[in-house]
Amino acid sequence: MSNFLQKPRNKAILSVYLFFVCGSVLSAVLNPKMSIGEKLFILCFNIFSATLFAFLIYLLLNKLMKDEDRKHPADPEKNGINQVIWKKYKKPLILFVYFGSLFAVCAALLPMPIYTVAEKLVILSIAIIFITICCILAYKVTNKMLQK
C-alpha cells in the first residue's frame, strides 16, 4: 500500500474514491424514506460502481503514465503527455463522456413519475441535443488547444 501511495495521481484517485464512498454511505443511511432493502441496494450499487470506476481510472492513468515515469523531469518530451494522450485516446474519451452523460440523463429522467411519457421524450431530446453540441464543442476546443 505504501508503494501505491507514492504517486500523486494514485493519492488523487483514492481521495476521490473515498469521498464518493463516504457520500454514498451517508446519503443511503440518512434517507428516511427508503426501506432497508433499498438502502442496501443503493449502498452496494454505489460502492461497486465507485470501485469499478476508480479501478478503470487507475489502470488507464498508470498505463498512460508508465513511460512518462521513467523519463527525467527535465526532458522536454515529458511536457507533451497531454498531446500524446489526446492523439491516442481522443475518440474513447469523447465517447465515454458522451455516452456517460446520456446514461446519467436517462437514469435521472426516466424513473421520474411527475412527467408523462411525452414530456420525458421532449426533455430527453433536448438533453441529447445539448449533450451532443457540448461534446462537439469540447472536442474542437481541445483539438485546437493541443495542436498548437
Contact 120, 109 (CB under 8 A): yes
> In this predicted structure, what is the pLDDT of residue 74?
45
Give CA–CA dist 8/61, Å, rounded.
11
Query: pLDDT at residue 1 above 70?
Result: no
Contact 64, 50 (CB under 8 A): no
**Average pLDDT in the 123-135 region?**
90
Contact 54, 16 (CB under 8 A): yes
Q: How far is CA 26 from CA 6, 12, 33, 107, in A?
A: 29, 21, 14, 21
pTM: 0.48
Sole residue written with cell 498531446: 83
Query: pLDDT at residue 114 above 60?
Result: yes
Residues 23-62 have pLDDT tens digits of 878 877 777 787 888 888 888 888 888 888 888 777 777 7
Residues 57-112 have pLDDT tens digits of 777 777 666 655 555 444 445 446 667 777 777 788 888 888 888 888 888 888 88
